Structure 1
Amino acid sequence: MTVNDDSFTSWKNREEIAESMIPIIGKLHREQDVTVLVHSRSLVNKSVVSILKTHRFARQIAGEELSVTETLPFLQTLTTLDLGPSQIDIGMLAAEYKADSRGLTVEEFTAEAVAGATGANKIERRDGRDVVLYGFGRIGRLVARLLIEKAGSGNGLRLRAIVVRGGGEADLVKRASLLRRDSIHGQFQGTITVDEANSSIVANGNTIKVIYANDPSEVDYTAYGIENAILIDNTGKWRDREGLSKHLRPGIDKVVLTAPGKGDVPNIVHGVNHDTIKPDEQILSCASCTTNAIVPPLKAMDDEYGVLRGHVETVHSFTNDQNLLDNYHKADRRGRSAPLNMVITETGAASAVAKALPELKAPITGSSIRVPVPDVSIAILSLRLGRETTRDEVLEYLRDVSLHSPLKRQIDFTTAPDAVSMDFVGSRHASIVDAGATKVDGDNAILYLWYDNEFGYSCQVIRVVQHVSGVEYPTFPATAV
């Protein structure tokens, strides 16, 4: 047998193992609200090849490949345990088991590592929480996809309605089509049908009422059977407490804004300050995509090295706020053609850091350049540190943060020497540290942080909504603090 034959046989064996994992992962998710992860990446509803690619990607962050032959025993053990709602990272279980020297069996080690999700310790499954989307643009449709994806167990967030302004003939069909197909993020994973008689879109069995209104004051959500809902405003039309309070109509309990909030509206970056949300707070903001991209790495660097001052330069994909061709715009430069120009503009991300990370006293400045790409941006974070360090030390620290810290869902890490922006479309992290581009000279560090300013940000929004709704379940093995 040749070397090529050996490689192909190995691949077929791993395919067979990955195929056997799919029904186990699906049953755990549907019946016990358990989400199976590999290094913070969900395996729920993934194909055979996707499962294998997720395992292979571990080499980018953990330094060596992870095989399904290593993780399968842990997955099989999970089926024997009395698990409650949780997220369980079998990649981390395999890595920690390999480093453990006590001679435990896989079954013994797994039972100990996930003890907080079993027996008397487990969280009881909660009733689903209604969610309403106000607006259905780029972020609204991606948030809708995520909500539908996460509705599999029936005990989490339930997208009940979308509120939009009437768009004329075939409006419902056109909106369903935009949800079904996306030029950047691809096809919707599932089926979508239109129920025009009931003004509804049915996506993977989820009936989503489409409500037409020109103003929040026109809607009584209880008339549609919606109660105690979280409303996600992705229009950006209202940003202060007074404006967003218009959404607190019958049936709505909380309002989450997908843009930077003004005045006393809390700006939340999940992973950094979501624990500061007061239980009775009804209005909050998820800040901006760029704020979400830079605040977690800023916190990580400040925790370890201290940050004395910093500057962030964002090279940002163009947005719907710009013009396709030169035309009037209220901003000085944004009227020029977005697909044809690099456009210098302002960013509020630097000033928003103070709201999300008040303990950071260092002055942070910022500016932005819009460039002719439709998605994925990069933040270049230049920092003056509190002590001298080396490039290797910083990279090893950030790699460890991406694997083991409370920020591992926010910060990803790549060593790929040929990575470009399109490689990060669909990333669920707030930002990805590009190891190859990182520069360190004494007490000066420059971090290059990729981020999917549409999808990665939408994932952060969902995490905030899960937190305030009480359906954000703990992750095991537990993260070191």
Structure 2
Amino acid sequence: MRIAVNGLGRIGRLVVRAITLLQDSRLELVAANSLAESDIIAHLLNYDSTHGKLTNRFQYNNNYLFNSTSKISLFRQSKPETIPWEKENIDIVIECSGKFNSKNAAIAHLTAGAKKVIISAPCENADATIIVGVNDHLLNSNHNIISVGSCTTNAVALIVKILNDKFGIQCGHITTVHAYTSDQNILDNSHKDFRRARSCFTSIIPTKTGVSTSLKEVIPELANCLDGSSVRVPTSNVSLIDFTFYSHKTLTVQSINNEIKESAKLANMKDILDIAPAPLVSVDFNHSKFSAIFDPYETKVVGKNLGRIVAWYDNEWGFVHRIIDIVKIVELCCRDER
């Protein structure tokens, strides 16, 4: 698969890093598009404050980003339809700019010659929203605009599906305690969300999350049963979900913990669900590839049917690896149907 990345912000650069480090022959990263200056792109790929330095460092020259194992054509176009994807024979564009998160907008990549688009965000009217370990079996070669949801949706949906399949969820509320993101302000400044307008370093900031909307798409039987909210905190990476739910079946702390621990052993959960080995803190999960790391030390049950669980997730590195997993699944679907 010939792959391109549109948008080289936090997620886009980490996609480039991850594919480069994987050295998987199925994933040929050949092009990228970004409005940022080429030299700063190379520098930020090589040196990351959260995820460390690359040893196989990128350089930029003659419209290419390259290191000893990769050569990536670099374009600087503001409109997807003007990027020469057809000339580059692109199979999949990973859309990471944050600007083309609807089918109507993302289809411009197909107009430019790409065969598929995978969007690193919730997407309005996508052909499919796919969460690895939850509904990835539904992906087929007819899906051309594919959303991978959000980092939070990937963490939450995994846990919610396990609990719903075993205990039956009547209703629930998800709180995400989330690291700050580039959408927030370092110092107080204008923003459409009054609270996100405030400095991300000095406050705990309540804000909105679209996780309940995304969950309706991937676990439709729980539509209108779940809601969610988010609290942004002054840490640079790693977030957690705090999920309180009311079940149909009787709960105990042991039954919840055992069910999730057994699920983590399943073959289809390998590399996406892990169990915290000790009472740890957020920094201990930095650079984790898992969608969610369940924390059995935080499970609570009140009465017979009210449960509460906590799971951690690296909202950058873990999410990036789910994007790449979807690329691999698309490649397999297309190969099987040739």
Q: Distance in 1 between matches of 2:30 and 2:167?
A: 46
Q: Which of 115, 118, 133 is the matching residue for 1:271?
A: 133
Q: Distance in 2 between matches of 1:259 and 1:412?
A: 23
Give the structure 1 partner of residue 83 of structure 2: 219
- Corresponding letter in the other structure for 1:396: N
Change (3 A) 1:362 1:301: farther
Tell whether 2:7 aligns with 1:135: yes
Change (3 A) 1:186 1:462: same
For residues 92-114 of structure 1, what are the alpha-carbon distances to aligned partners after superposition, in whole Å with 9 as ceiling and x for unaligned? Answer: xxxxxxxxxxxxxxxxxxxxxxx
Q: Distance in 2 between matches of 1:468 and 1:264?
A: 15
For residues 27-63 of structure 1, what are the alpha-carbon distances to aligned partners after superposition, in whole Å with 9 as ceiling and x for unaligned? Answer: xxxxxxxxxxxxxxxxxxxxxxxxxxxxxxxxxxxxx
Give the structure 1 partner of residue 299 of structure 2: 438
Tell whether 2:225 aligns with 1:359: no
Q: Distance in 1 between matches of 2:15 and 2:224?
A: 33
Give the structure 1 partner of residue 57 of structure 2: 192
For residues 275-300 of structure 1, what are the alpha-carbon distances to aligned partners after superposition, in whole Å with 9 as ceiling and x for unaligned? Answer: 21231211011111111110011000
Change (3 A) 1:218 1:362: closer
- Matched ranges for 1:22-421 at <5 A: 129-152=1-24, 155-165=25-35, 167=36, 171-188=37-54, 190-196=55-61, 198-223=62-87, 226-361=88-223, 363-404=225-266, 406-417=268-279, 419-421=280-282
Change (3 A) 1:469 1:390: same
Give % identity.
31
1:379 is paired with a residue whose SS is strand
- Corresponding letter in the other structure for 1:437: E
**Runs of at least 5 residues in structure 2 that lack an aligned partner in the other structure:** none
- Corresponding letter in the other structure for 1:133: V
How many angstroms does 1:207 deviate by? 0.4
Whether contact under 8 Å (1:433, 1:449) holds in the other structure is yes
- Corresponding letter in the other structure for 1:211: F
Q: Distance in 2 between matches of 1:471 and 1:420?
A: 39
2:274 is paired with a residue whose SS is strand
Q: Distance in 2 between matches of 1:250 and 1:374?
A: 36
- Corresponding letter in the other structure for 2:96: N
Whether contact under 8 Å (2:141, 2:333) holds in the other structure is no
Q: Which of 265, 285, 293 is the matching residue for 1:424?
A: 285
Give the structure 2 partner of residue 11 of structure 1: none
How many angstroms does 1:229 deviate by? 1.6
Whether contact under 8 Å (2:59, 2:66) holds in the other structure is yes
- Corresponding letter in the other structure for 1:177: H
RMSD across aligned C-alpha pairs, in angstroms? 1.8
- Corresponding letter in the other structure for 1:134: N
Q: Distance in 2 between matches of 1:452 and 1:254?
A: 26
For residues 384-435 of structure 1, what are the alpha-carbon distances to aligned partners after superposition, in whole Å with 9 as ceiling and x for unaligned? Answer: 1111121112112211111125234322111302x00011011111111111
Give the structure 2 partner of residue 454 of structure 1: 316
- Corresponding letter in the other structure for 1:322: Q
1:232 is paired with a residue whose SS is strand
Whether contact under 8 Å (1:240, 1:265) holds in the other structure is no
For residues 227-270 of structure 1, what are the alpha-carbon distances to aligned partners after superposition, in whole Å with 9 as ceiling and x for unaligned? Answer: 24200110111122111101114441000100101135422111
Change (3 A) 1:268 1:452: same
2:128 is paired with a residue whose SS is coil
**Runs of at least 5 residues in structure 1 that lack an aligned partner in the other structure:** 1-128, 474-481
Q: Distance in 2 between matches of 1:352 and 1:221?
A: 29
Q: Distance in 2 between matches of 1:443 and 1:181?
A: 48
Whether contact under 8 Å (2:20, 2:69) holds in the other structure is no
Whether contact under 8 Å (2:65, 2:74) holds in the other structure is yes
Q: Between Structure 1 and Structure 2, whose CA radius of gyration is higher?
A: 1
1:248 is paired with a residue whose SS is helix
Change (3 A) 1:149 1:472: farther
How many angstroms does 1:195 deviate by? 4.1
TM-score by length of 2: 0.94
Q: Distance in 2 between matches of 1:266 and 1:314?
A: 24
Q: Distance in 1 between matches of 2:27 and 2:111?
A: 19
2:181 is paired with a residue whose SS is coil
1:401 is paired with a residue whose SS is helix
Change (3 A) 1:312 1:216: same
2:124 is paired with a residue whose SS is coil
Aligned residues: 334
For residues 330-371 of structure 1, what are the alpha-carbon distances to aligned partners after superposition, in whole Å with 9 as ceiling and x for unaligned? Answer: 112110000111111010101210101113356101111111
